[in-house]
């Protein structure tokens, strides 16, 4: 058994010597790594907001779609910095005030200052649903929600003007 171990050890030592020797040859030839490039060179980057964010939102629109209750909330970042991963949690209660079910909607990525987006919350339908509430949060802290009557969504399709001819 020791003879087999000696043969294996000698073979392993030969491989190590060959690898180290080839590494020395590369260093002698002057092989260098390619130069590093700056990824954000010339680009403006604002770090995400930490702490409390101010989010404006409109009255939530809740509709039942088959076996789900879908709530859509239009939100706008009223803070000075981008808000990372805005999350809105919806909790549903029955008439006695017991928690029945809940859902969560998120905006992945950053919500830039002044940007308007829609948060969609999908919750399984339960006939005992009576009342609900919303909790806002984000990845780096808390949210101070402020309800407003109307928000203009710049990405929403504009409806055709009255009397405009339809294209066929």
Domain ranges for the chain:
53-147
Q: Six-digit token pair at 138?
A: 């984000």
Q: Specify the pLDDT at position 34.
A: 83
Confidence of residue 37 (pLDDT cuts 50, 70, 90): confident
> Given this model, what pLDDT does residue 133 score?
95
User: The domain at 53-147 falls in which architecture?
Assistant: Sandwich (2.60)
Higher pLDDT, 165 or 81: 81
Provide mean pLDDT across the span 46-63. Answer: 93
- Alpha-carbon span 112 to 78, nearest angstrom: 9
Q: Are 154 and 76 in contact (CB under 8 A)?
A: no
What single DSSP character describes residue 158? Answer: P
What pLDDT digit, counting tens, does each position of 134-156 carry?
Answer: 999 999 999 999 999 988 766 56
Strand 99-111 to strand 141-147: parallel, antiparallel, or no bridges (unpaired)?
unpaired
């Amino acid at each position: 058994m020791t003879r087999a171990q000696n043969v294996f050890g000698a073979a392993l030592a030969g491989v190590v010597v060959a690898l180290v020797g080839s590494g020395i040859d590369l260093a002698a030839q002057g092989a260098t790594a390619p130069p590093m490039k700056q990824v954000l060179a010339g680009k403006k980057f604002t770090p995400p907001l930490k702490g409390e964010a101010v989010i404006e939102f409109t009255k939530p629109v809740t509709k039942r779609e088959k076996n789900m209750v879908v709530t859509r909330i239009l939100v706008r970042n009223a803070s000075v910095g981008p808000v990372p991963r805005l999350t809105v949690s919806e909790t549903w209660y029955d008439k006695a005030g017991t928690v029945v079910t809940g859902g969560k909607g998120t905006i992945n990525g950053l919500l830039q200052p002044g940007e308007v987006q829609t948060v969609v919350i999908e919750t399984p339908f339960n006939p005992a649903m009576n009342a609900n509430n919303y909790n806002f949060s984000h990845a780096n802290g808390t949210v101070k929600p402020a309800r407003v009557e109307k928000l203009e969504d710049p990405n929403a399709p504009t409806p055709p003007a009255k009397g405009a001819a339809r294209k066929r």
